Homo-oligomer: A and B are copies of this chain.
């Protein structure tokens, strides 16, 4: 048992994962030149000309890919809670009698709960994902799975695929429009979901790739976000999911006063950070306080006549409006959150669809997060060392997503975490978080309704914000303040068994998730 740079115990190895490398620091591996892992070659393919890729059913396509026990099957989660393809495909594989499947979905949502029996039956024996929620998350925390699950970031997932930690045998890629050769997009069609960014690395590296669509269009499908030279088979199905749950019409800014208060405070921190000037780049989440920051930043940009460089992310129609207003020169879009975004991808060349590799892979020559000025992120819990938990809930269940949290935090010049200081009767600002996803070293400030806490490593920033008259307080003081309101919740009771690991974006292990005691 070793301890990582956060003083968290990391087993030397785990059955089903092999040797584990403890987390060493945000950029330590790169700075020390240790990021020299080999990438694995992408799959070689060849195909006779003028042959058809079309299959009559998803069963037929999967059968043609020669499924085997122990195979790794991958999916993207751009269909969100409306996704119907992951469950369909896993049901087909289960019916074929395939077992010990490694499921590598870029994330898992409530739509995927029907696979729970497959996990219980050992048909799925391991999960790699950036997020796990709901009944699957609870079951995972209870140790239902044969082998430890791995929570990775969006950038870390690309690194894992490129270095062969995740060896995808079969990628099943749902598309809202595709043609007979597999050129595919999410940017139009009845089930449009916007960017198909998370699926790109799967298309490039998977041994076999199946594109599934409910909207087969005349050749060629434009834009060809996924390109035909990576696609083996194409299937048309009645529906790839529930369009209503795939994308809402337009993302709206919260009206909750607490969120707005936090967002206003965060925007003031941005304005006085020294980074608020022409050429600024910016990412916010789609959630309550996080998105609301965009509203205040937008107003301030107009007032101060500032023109930014790019918006990144996680793109909402609010961001598209800012592009159209000329507040930013471009959007880089790895994932879109509402229907209005899709049309912009299709029609605006400055709305650039990107894969997760360009978004956040630490193993490349300049991903977007490396150029990001400001990111505004949410949190389930934050501790007095600024470490952030976005994966496990107060009961110890797995109920969140790592997503781009640790990626953007590492890259951005200014990483802002916005959260209420407590929720219900539970403290959010704590002495120690249940699990660390994003290390405090990559977080600059935490903004709650009770004021702004600046990471002590960032003295200059603290001085600037103090000078601007903002309400700055020590995070230790805030923690005591919150403790007085909520008291300490009973600690979560765990067994010693590690049921999952949280991988940092560079492949080291930043934390483990232990089995909840029943």
Given A30-B46, A49-B411, A220-B352, 10 additional A-B pairs, CB 8 A = A36-B44, A39-B43, A42-B42, A44-B162, A47-B365, A209-B365, A219-B309, A219-B371, A229-B365, A229-B366
Query: Contact: B357 with A229, CB < 8 Å?
Result: yes
Binding site for B on A (CB under 8 A): 27, 30-31, 35-51, 53, 162, 181-182, 209, 218-220, 222-224, 227-232, 279, 309-310, 329-330, 332, 346-347, 349-350, 352, 354, 357-358, 361-367, 369-372, 410-411, 413
Choose one: B44, B46, B48, B209; the contact of A38 (CB below 8 Å): B44
30 sampled A-B residue pairs with Cβ under 8 A: A30-B46, A38-B44, A40-B41, A41-B41, A44-B363, A46-B365, A47-B364, A47-B370, A48-B370, A49-B371, A49-B372, A49-B411, A50-B370, A181-B366, A182-B365, A218-B329, A219-B279, A219-B310, A220-B309, A220-B310, A220-B329, A222-B330, A224-B352, A227-B358, A229-B358, A229-B361, A229-B365, A231-B365, A232-B365, A347-B349
Choose one: B49, B220, B361, B371; the contact of A369 (CB below 8 Å): B49
Chain copies in complex: 2
Query: Contact: B222 with A349, CB < 8 Å?
Result: yes
CA distance A352 to B51 in the complex (A): 23
CA distance A35 to B371 in the complex (A): 41
Tell me how far the C-beta of A333 lies from the nearest C-beta in chain B, rounded to whole angstroms.
12
Tell me how far the C-beta of A512 lies from the nearest C-beta in chain B, rounded to whole angstroms.
26
Give chain B residues whose Cβ lies under 8 Å from the Cβ of A363: 44-46
Give chain B residues whose Cβ lies under 8 Å from the Cβ of A181: 366, 371
Q: Closest B-chain residue to A281, C-beta based?
A: B219
Tell me how far the C-beta of A33 lies from the nearest C-beta in chain B, rounded to whole angstroms.
9
CA distance A350 to B30 in the complex (A): 41
CA distance A35 to B352 in the complex (A): 35
Give chain B residues whose Cβ lies under 8 Å from the Cβ of A31: 48
Query: Contact: A366 with B219, CB < 8 Å?
Result: no
Give chain B residues whose Cβ lies under 8 Å from the Cβ of A362: 46
CA distance A372 to B219 in the complex (A): 12
Query: Contact: A44 with B37, CB < 8 Å?
Result: yes
CA distance A279 to B40 in the complex (A): 39
CA distance A47 to B370 in the complex (A): 8
Choose one: B49, B223, B330, B332; the contact of A410 (CB below 8 Å): B49
Give chain B residues whose Cβ lies under 8 Å from the Cβ of A50: 370-371, 413
Give chain B residues whose Cβ lies under 8 Å from the Cβ of A53: 366
Query: Contact: B182 with A366, CB < 8 Å?
Result: yes
Tell me how far the C-beta of A368 lies from the nearest C-beta in chain B, rounded to whole angstroms.
8
Give chain B residues whose Cβ lies under 8 Å from the Cβ of A413: 50
Choose one: B30, B209, B227; the contact of A48 (CB below 8 Å): B30
CA distance A222 to B350 in the complex (A): 7
Query: Contact: B228 with A365, CB < 8 Å?
Result: yes
Give chain B residues whose Cβ lies under 8 Å from the Cβ of A38: 41, 44
Tell me how far the C-beta of A315 lies from the nearest C-beta in chain B, rounded to whole angstroms.
15
Give chain B residues whose Cβ lies under 8 Å from the Cβ of A182: 365-366
CA distance A329 to B42 in the complex (A): 31
Q: Closest B-chain residue to A44, C-beta based?
A: B39
